[in-house]
Structure 1
Amino acid sequence: MSYTTEELIEILDQELRANWQGKRVLFSSSERLNNPVLAKAIGTEKLSKIFAYRDFRAQIHEYQRQHKVSGLVWRTYYFNGYEVACPELHNQLIAIPEDKETLIRIKPQILEFWQQATKNLFLWQEGTPPIEIDPETVNHRATEAEWLEVETTQTDLILNLCWGNPKECHYQWANPNSGRDRVIATFQKSSPFLH
């Protein structure tokens, strides 16, 4: 029987604590950084902790691939009287192919939650400057996205329209192969980026 996602997260947490407590030592760490000035500035002890944890995490990722252990965790989001359970990739794990399938499969439930929770709210497309956007345009763009994610604040609901690699979609350097566009729903007519 293989470890579960939750068990792998706990194992990684324990290993990270052990690293920062100095219980793990990697003697070759300074040789692994190709910049001697940076290696000296960071220091051998910190480099050892960084590389020891990184190596351990790579082993966990390989374990995930071999045993098909998901990197997704489920969170329930509440907004404007509605709720939805959404999968999201844990920041220390990788997405296995089945994870992307799960993200794609849950898309209709997230879109339905968005549509219900944002009725009569103001919608803004993230950008400089932010642009007010209508619900029909959001719905059209949501159908074109590979999967959807939501985030909530006390006053805003954020819809992420995602594509590509789930591990990279939140980073600008991954565009155009992976990425996300963001739409923010607010109760106020003013742009959420001015709060």
Structure 2
Amino acid sequence: MRKTVTSLLLVGALGLATAAPASATPPNIPSTATAKSELAALTVAAEGSLTGYSREKFPHWITVSGACNTRETVLKRDGSNVVTDSSCAATSGSWYSPYDGATWTQASDVDIDHVVPLAEAWRSGASSWTTDRRQSFANDLGNPQLIAVTDNVNQSKGDQDPARWKPPLTSYWCTYGKIWVHSKYRWGLKVDSAEKSALTGLLDRC
């Protein structure tokens, strides 16, 4: 069953989802100045269609090391005191979601968000990529494209860009803008005009 706003507040009252002082952050988040330069360098164009798109064209989660796949690697990176079993599944730990300020103690309550969603990437240039390049994008651990967040918050985002969806926690908007811009820049993806305007607004909050 999906968590609702009411149930999140109730869980918070029970002490199972509470604000944490800090969270692990994905690598290579650019400075504000760098993000603004990268945004200015992005090609502005109308979004393409979703014709031909499927998540299977972005193979994930792939094996990273031993028994650990990309999802499990990010869970360990972004969590606190994470314990895993022999199959690399997280059996305990805590995860702070910077999108909404909640902390979860069950890995099943956490999604690994593709900050730039796979469908959004498809519409903004990835439709012409090879499957290998799409796989690299979908499992990008070297850039700030993957982050552990509350599952139903990630589901509410879907494949929307910042013109249509922003994290509920407004204090994270600056960081979210920098991450989104850098991922689009790193992977040579385009932005549409409304998206660029929204990103400019996010970076102006930094």
Name the TM-score class by shorter chain: under 0.3
Give the number of the structure with larger relative contact order, counting CA–CA contacts within 8 Å between residues 6 or more apart: 2
TM-score (structure 1 length as normaliser):
0.26
Larger Rg: 1
Q: TM-score, normalised by structure 2?
A: 0.25
Higher strand share: 1
